[in-house]
């Protein structure tokens, strides 16, 4: 068996790198989906909220304990009571669409049942998040294929090797776009479940 040439080895390293980036796109899609309301209380709704705390933007989960005492309530207990108003303000100005109730020591968020119009909005939002990550995966495909074609032009790899690598890149792309589509379908089902 012939030993792999050095440039071909570099292509396979780039292929692994592309797959790593594609996996990160799937994970990013999952994180984005977690921030969309489904009618049930979930602490992940607050993952993107940043609080102006001690002069710096800090993630909410770093300045408060967040839990769900029941299916329609999220309770936020600040570690330092001085941050209570900053947390309330951050939630009010966020795109979460929930009104905080501050009782002086704990902030409660009541999760109202979703209307059909609101469900449709959330389905569109999920589709938008999914498309952003599909574009990211396709950009990785483009970069990997461009790199392979450049190596082929330079004569570092053969046409057959180039074609094989491009096929592998396309299969990876299809695999990860399929994963994003599956996550989207699950989220849409979750949003539309009453």
- Please say whether the beta carbons of 26 and 140 come within 8 A: no
Task: Supply angle C-alpha 12, 16, 20, rounded to 5.
Answer: 165
pLDDT tens digits for range 52-66: 888 889 898 889 999
pTM: predicted TM-score of the whole model, two decimal places: 0.70
Confidence of residue 182 (pLDDT cuts 50, 70, 90): very high
Q: Cβ distance 37 to 48 under 8 Å?
A: no
Q: What is residue 94's predicted lDDT score, i.e. its pLDDT?
A: 84
Give me the phi and psi of 53, to 5 degrees please.
-125, 120
**34 Cβ contact partners less than 8 Å away, ≥ 6 residues apart:** 42, 44, 45, 47
Domains in the chain, please, with CATH? 7-35+115-192 (1.10.132.20), 43-110 (3.30.1360.40)
């Amino acid at each position: 068996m012939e030993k792999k040439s050095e440039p071909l080895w570099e292509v396979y390293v780039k292929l692994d790198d592309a797959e790593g980036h594609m996996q990160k796109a799937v994970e990013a899609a999952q994180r984005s989906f977690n921030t969309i309301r489904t009618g049930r209380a979930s602490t992940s709704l607050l993952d993107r909220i940043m609080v102006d705390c001690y002069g710096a933007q800090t993630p909410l989960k770093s300045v408060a304990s967040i839990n769900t005492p029941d299916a329609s309530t999220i309770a936020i207990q600040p570690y330092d009571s001085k941050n209570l108003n900053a947390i309330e303000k951050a939630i009010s100005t966020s795109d979460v669409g929930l009104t905080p109730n501050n009782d002086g020591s704990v902030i409660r968020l009541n999760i109202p049942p979703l209307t059909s119009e609101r469900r449709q909005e959330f389905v569109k939002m999920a589709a938008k998040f999914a498309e952003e990550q599909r574009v990211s995966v396709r950009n990785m495909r483009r970069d990997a294929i461009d790199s392979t074609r450049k190596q082929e032009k330079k004569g570092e790899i053969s046409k057959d090797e180039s074609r094989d690598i491009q096929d592998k890149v396309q299969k990876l792309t299809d695999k990860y776009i399929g994963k994003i589509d599956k996550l989207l379908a699950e989220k849409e089902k979750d949003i539309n479940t009453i």
